[in-house]
């Protein structure tokens, strides 16, 4: 991505952050996850805590589960429903409180939002779709040989996810910037072409997350389910201890905070710091000659303590599948009401009302 585009995105994100504090009700947050598995502590520190904070500030929040999007790069679809419900459990256990203002739903359940895809596709060229850097990266890293059309068009579908409810804030990392730029482009082109006097769609911005890249327990790549280097919110305390025992450190006994030269040890110290809010250097000093063993013990205790209330809530929610379905159906109903309204405005703008 061009540097000036990135700088502009950072600027927009900063301004947005200020205004969210002053006028939370003026905005709408839209976030989503693909239901490919349970959430891990990378999600927890990277995005979940932020979503909880925004929703508690009173910003209307839509959390969508991108079940259609899973089909673009995953052959397996046997667990989509199960994964969807596990995501809801993770969200609520982490502190999301479903209400009139905070809703959770699968995007496949909102036909009127999906219908926006047809006019939106006509506003974007093939060339624009095929140069999306995030899509290119995903195709490459997943080693997909036969790329389906859904893979190239899912960012347009994502624009439908965001614009059907006129979402103007998407809290996300850098990788989502090309998608949100596309959403803005579609909104602008739609407004200019069909309703210049009465624009329907807002300008959406990314609220860039501040948390550093959380590495997996192998210490050299991003924490992720597919890389087998994650601690899941749903892991037990014993499982957490076992996973951390296997975490990579280095040969030097004395623990110091040196992200440059000791990335694995630094990552474990970062994780402790995220739980205890102590400075990494101070934590390192305490551990010192206690070495990797004490480092891992400290981390295990910190994570287990941080997640204890969440895991307790999680276990209760697991026992109440009817409640989880109710949350999804309530969310779906509210999302559909917004989608029906927006589709009606869109039909009017396109002169298609009969
Ligand atoms: N593309 C996002 C991901 O891969 C998921 C997603 C779908 C999303 N629709 C969205 C994120 C709308 C934010 C807003 O994680």
- For residue 254, pLDDT beyond 70: yes
**pLDDT number for residue 225:** 83
Mean pLDDT of 303-315: 98
pLDDT of residue 227: 84
Contacts of 202 (CB under 8 A, 6+ apart): 163, 166, 167, 168, 187
| Range 266-276 average pLDDT | 96
Q: Is the CB of 204 within 6 Å of ligand 1?
A: no
Distance 85 CA to ligand 1 centre (A): 17
User: 291-318 vs 263-276: helix axis angle to the nearest 10?
Assistant: 50
The pLDDT score that the predictor gives to residue 348 is 98
User: In the CATH scheme, what is the homologous superfamily, with its name and number, of domain 3-211+321-349?
Assistant: HUPs (3.40.50.620)
69 lines ligand 1 (CB under 6 A): yes
Ligand 1 center–CA 155 separation, angstroms: 8
- Average of per-residue pLDDT across 91-113: 98
How close is the Cα of 288 to the center of ligand 1, in Å? Answer: 42
State in Å: Cα 352 to ligand 1 middle: 29
* Cα–Cα distance, 339 to 110 (Å, whole number): 7
Task: For residue range 75-87, list pLDDT tens digits in order.
Answer: 778 999 999 999 9
The CATH number assigned to the domain with range 237-318 reads 1.10.240.10
Rounded distance, CA 250 to CA 244, Å? Answer: 14
Q: What is the pTM of this model?
A: 0.94
Is residue 170 within 6 Å of ligand 1 at its C-beta? yes
Instruction: Give start and end residues of each alpha helix (H) in 95-132.
Output: 111-114, 117-121, 126-130
pLDDT of 18 reads: 94
Counting from 1 in the atom list of ligand 1, the atom nearest the Cα of 167 is 14
Which pLDDT score is estimated for 174? 85
- What CA–CA distances, in Å, run from 38 to 41, 44, 69, 295? 10, 11, 16, 26
pLDDT at 182 over 70: yes
pLDDT in tens, 10-56: 899 999 999 999 999 999 999 999 999 899 999 999 889 999 999 99
Torsion of CA 225, 226, 227, 229, to 10 degrees: 20
Parse the chain into domains and list their residue ranges. 3-211+321-349, 237-318
Question: pLDDT value at position 1?
Answer: 54
How many other β-carbons are positioned within 10 Å of the β-carbon of residue 152? 18
pLDDT at residue 110, as a whole number:
98
Q: Is the C-beta atom of 32 inside 6 A of ligand 1? A: yes
Q: Is the pLDDT reported for residue 211 higher than 80?
A: no
What is the Å distance from ligand 1's center to 4 Cα? 24
16: Cα within 13 Å, side-chain hemisphere: 23
The CA distance from 266 to 247, in Å, is: 12
């Amino acid at each position: 991505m061009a540097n000036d585009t990135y700088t502009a995105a950072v600027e927009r994100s900063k301004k947005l952050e200020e205004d969210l504090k002053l006028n939370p009700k003026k905005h709408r947050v839209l976030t989503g996850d693909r239901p490919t598995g349970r959430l891990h502590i990378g999600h927890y520190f990277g995005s979940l805590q932020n979503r909880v904070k925004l929703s508690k500030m009173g910003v209307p929040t839509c959390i969508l589960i991108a079940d259609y999007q899973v089909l673009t790069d995953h052959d397996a679809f046997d667990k989509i429903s199960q994964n969807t419900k596990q995501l809801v459990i993770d969200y609520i256990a982490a502190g999301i409180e479903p209400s009139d203002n905070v809703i959770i739903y699968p995007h496949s359940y909102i036909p009127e939002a999906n219908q926006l895809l047809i006019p939106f596709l006509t506003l974007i060229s093939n060339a624009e779709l095929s140069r999306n850097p995030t899509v290119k990266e995903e195709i490459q890293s997943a080693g997909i040989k036969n790329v389906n059309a859904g893979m190239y068009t899912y960012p347009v579908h994502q624009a439908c996810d965001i614009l059907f409810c006129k979402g103007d804030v998407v809290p996300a990392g850098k990788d989502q910037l090309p998608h949100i730029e596309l959403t803005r482009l579609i909104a602008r082109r739609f407004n200019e072409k069909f309703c210049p006097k009465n624009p329907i769609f807002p300008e959406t911005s990314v609220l860039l997350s501040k948390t550093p890249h959380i590495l997996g327990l192998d210490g050299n790549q991003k924490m992720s389910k597919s890389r087998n280097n994650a601690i899941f919110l749903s892991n037990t305390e014993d499982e957490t201890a076992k996973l951390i025992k296997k975490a990579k450190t280095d040969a030097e006994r004395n623990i110091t905070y040196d992200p440059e030269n000791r990335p694995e040890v630094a990552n474990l110290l970062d994780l402790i710091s995220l739980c205890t809010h102590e400075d990494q250097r101070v934590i390192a000093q305490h551990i010192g000659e206690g070495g990797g063993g004490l480092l891992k013990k400290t981390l295990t205790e910190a994570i287990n303590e941080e997640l204890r209330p969440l895991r307790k809530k999680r276990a209760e929610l697991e026992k109440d599948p009817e409640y989880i379905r109710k949350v999804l159906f309530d969310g779906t109903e509210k999302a559909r009401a917004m989608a029906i309204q927006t589709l009606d405005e869109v039909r009017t703008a396109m002169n298609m009302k009969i």
